[in-house]
Amino acid sequence: MNRTGKTLLLIGATSDIGRATGLVYAMAGWDVQLAGRNLEAVHREADDIGTRSGASVSVHQLDILNTSRFEDFCDTLPKLPDTVVCVVGQLGEQRRAERELDHATEVLRTNFEGPALLLGLFAERFAKRGFGTIIGISSVAGDRGRGSNYVYGAAKAGLSAFLSGLRNRLASAGVRVLTVKPGFVRTRMTAAMKLPPLLTAEPAQVADAIFSASETKKQREVIYVRGLWWPIMLAIRSIPEPIFKRLRL
């Protein structure tokens, strides 16, 4: 297999989407840096990706809530990656987040603060270098706050806005910024939910969408993995607030 000499950094390597994404890049000839909180679990994925692809895979410890370590993390990577993908996310429990400050804080920090600050650090380094791609996994839940998941949704809305701002700022610096909104994905996180097939993607489809938006078809920078989500969210966004607030969504 032809190696490209390019390097991907994957943050959140032990999630189903993270694992699938690392594999797609590795199979395409990239070297891969995997970062995650549980080092033993990250090693398991690194062995898997390395064995399947023959790629060189390195393992790095990172806790998305431990923001004080971020600069050190960036500076101690064996190589500044060509592309960084952050797939970290936590759905949390809306009802619990309404009552428990700690849980709401964790959901907000895991989905917004951690990913935004970390990708911001890479943006600085990529801009200085003059090239690079930053890919954040946001969510359709961030397109409009709904009663059933607005804590998670607000964090994802924050991340979408942050990525949009980065994209705007770095457009002329040679740095691409992509926002990926997977919609429903069949993962361990959603294993117990009944999901509509047309709106639900497999982790491998999310991974393919990320790779193709980043490397092959480069027109779009905000990506709905299942195309049907785009008109749906457009419709949901355009419902006037006096009506929207009365809907059970």
Partner 1 sequence: MSLQGWGRYRNYDSEVLECLLPQSVGAMVPSRAGLIARGNGRSYGDAAVGELATLICGGLSRMKAFDAGNGILTVEGGTLLSDILRAFIPRGYFPPVVPGTKFVTVGGMIASDVHGKNHHRVGGFGDHVTQFKLVVASGELVTCSRTENPELFYATIGGMGLTGVIVEASFEMKPIETGWILQKTTVAQDLAGALKVLQATDELTYSVAWIDCLAGGKSMGRSLVFTGEHATREQVSARMPQAEFFPAAREPKLGLPFDFPAWMLNGVSVSAFNEMYFRAGARKAGSPSLVHWNPYFFPLDGIHRWNRLYGRRGFLQHQCVVPEGNALAVLGEMLERFVRSGKGSFLAVLKKLGRGGGLISFPTSGYTLALDLPATTDVFPLLEEIDKIVVQAGGRLYLAKDARQSRHTFEAGYPQLSAFRELRRVTGADRRFRSHLSTRLGI
According to the binding rule CB under 8 A, does residue 208 interact with partner 1? Answer: no
Other residues' Cβ atoms within 10 Å of the Cβ of residue 102: 9
Residue 149 is a binding residue for partner 1 (CB under 8 A): no
Q: Considering the complex, state which of residue 54 and residue 227 has its C-beta at the smaller distance from partner 1.
A: 54
Q: What are phi and psi of 66, to 5 degrees?
A: -95, 70
CA 156/CA 161 separation, integer angstroms: 9
Q: Does 44 bind partner 1 (CB under 8 A)?
A: yes
Which of 25, 19, 18, 69 minimizes the C-alpha distance to 216?
A: 25
Tokens at 28, concatenated: 């395409």
Query: Active-site residue 152, yes or no?
Result: yes
Question: Alpha-carbon distance 237 to 210, whole Å?
Answer: 24
Stretch in the footprint of partner 1 (CB under 8 A) among 49-57, 68-76, 111-119, 168-176:
49-57
| Per CB under 8 A, 38 contacts partner 1 | no
Neighbouring residues of 75: CB distance < 8 A, sequence distance ≥ 6: none
Binding mask 164-193 for partner 1 (x = CB under 8 A): ------------------------x-----
- Measured CA to CA, the distance from residue 4 to residue 28 in angstroms comes to 8
Rg of the chain over all Cα atoms, to the nearest angstrom: 18
Stretch that binds partner 1, among 47-55, 85-93, 154-162, 168-176 (CB under 8 A): 47-55
Structure tokens that stand for 200 in this block: 């639900």
- Residue nearer to partner 1 on the CB measure, 47 or 71: 47
Cα gap 16→79, rounded to integer Å: 25
- Write down the least CB distance from residue 203 to partner 1, Å: 12
Tell whether residue 16 is a contact of partner 1 (CB under 8 A).
no
Using CB under 8 A as the binding rule, whether residue 51 contacts partner 1 is answered as: yes
Q: Applying CB under 8 A, what is the total number of residues that bind partner 1?
A: 10
- If one asks whether residue 53 binds partner 1 (CB under 8 A), the answer comes out as yes
Q: Which stretch binds partner 1 (CB under 8 A): 40-48, 92-100, 215-223, 228-236?
A: 40-48
- Quote the tokens at residue 177: 């910024």
- What residues make contact with partner 1 under the rule CB under 8 A? 1, 44-45, 47-48, 51-54, 188
